[in-house]
Structure formats: structure tokens, C-alpha cells
């Protein structure tokens, strides 16, 4: 079990290399990464980080309980659930950013002044 998560390190390195090559390749490709949608995801990234695990657990676990674990693994739900979880995480991140994080950031600026 100590090596169970090692693949995440390799995956992160591969995605980092892909991102770096995309940015260095040409200005045309950098538009794929430098755009308003990714800027918004960057702003929401901490909120997404905080809420994605419980949301994914809820979505995946409820599907497994409804279908049975073996049936779940054999359906397209295996591919849809992470997409549903991502959409739910971004939606909740928008709410938590605007209702919690942004007010505290404004308060922080006022307290520094």
C-alpha cells in the first residue's frame, strides 16, 4: 500500500511536461492554456481542491451502492462520474469562492490598510 499512490507522482510529472511543452511550443498553442476559462479555474482552484474529494466520494459511492460494485465497474458510469464530480466541484467552488473566500480576501485587504 505504500506504493499505491506513486502513480500520481508520475502522472503529475507527465502533465507538467505536457503543459511546459505546450507553453514553449508556440504562441498559438499557449492559447490552449492561457485563457479566461483556465484563469477562472485557477482562481477557484483552492475551493475545488477542498471540495472535490467528498463530492467524488459521494457520486461514485452512491453509484456503486445503487448498481453494485461489479456492475458499476462494467458500465460507462465509471467514465461519467468523474466528469459529473468535476462539474459539481466547479459549481460548488464558485459558490464557496464568492460566499466565503472572496469576502475574507476583501477583509484581509481592509485590515492591512
Task: Summarize pLDDT for 47-64 with one digit per residue, the tens.
Answer: 999 999 999 999 999 999
Cα-trace Rg, the chain: 18
For the cut 60, the answer to whether the pLDDT of residue 16 exceeds it is: yes
Output the nine-digit C-alpha cell for 60.
Answer: 461514485
Q: Residue 9: pLDDT band by 50, 70, 90 thresholds?
A: confident
For the cut 80, the answer to whether the pLDDT of residue 26 exceeds it is: no
Alpha-carbon distance values, 43 to 24, 40, 95 (Å): 23, 5, 12
Distance of alpha carbon 33 from alpha carbon 29, whole angstroms: 8
72/88: higher pLDDT: 88
Q: Residue 110: pLDDT band by 50, 70, 90 thresholds?
A: very high
Distance of alpha carbon 32 from alpha carbon 22, whole angstroms: 8
Q: Residue 39: pLDDT band by 50, 70, 90 thresholds?
A: very high
Closest to 43 measured CA to CA, from 93, 89, 100, 9: 93
Amino acid at each position: 500500500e505504500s506504493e499505491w499512490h506513486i502513480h500520481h507522482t508520475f502522472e503529475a510529472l507527465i502533465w507538467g511536461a505536457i503543459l511546459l511543452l505546450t507553453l514553449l511550443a508556440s504562441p498559438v498553442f499557449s492559447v490552449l492554456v492561457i485563457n479566461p476559462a483556465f484563469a477562472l479555474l485557477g482562481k477557484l482552484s483552492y475551493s475545488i481542491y477542498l471540495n472535490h474529494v467528498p463530492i467524488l466520494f459521494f457520486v461514485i459511492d452512491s453509484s456503486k451502492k445503487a448498481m453494485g460494485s461489479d456492475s458499476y465497474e462494467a458500465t460507462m458510469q465509471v467514465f461519467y462520474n468523474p466528469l459529473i464530480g468535476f462539474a459539481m466541484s466547479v459549481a460548488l467552488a464558485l459558490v464557496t469562492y464568492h460566499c466565503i473566500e472572496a469576502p475574507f480576501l476583501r477583509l484581509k485587504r481592509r485590515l492591512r490598510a
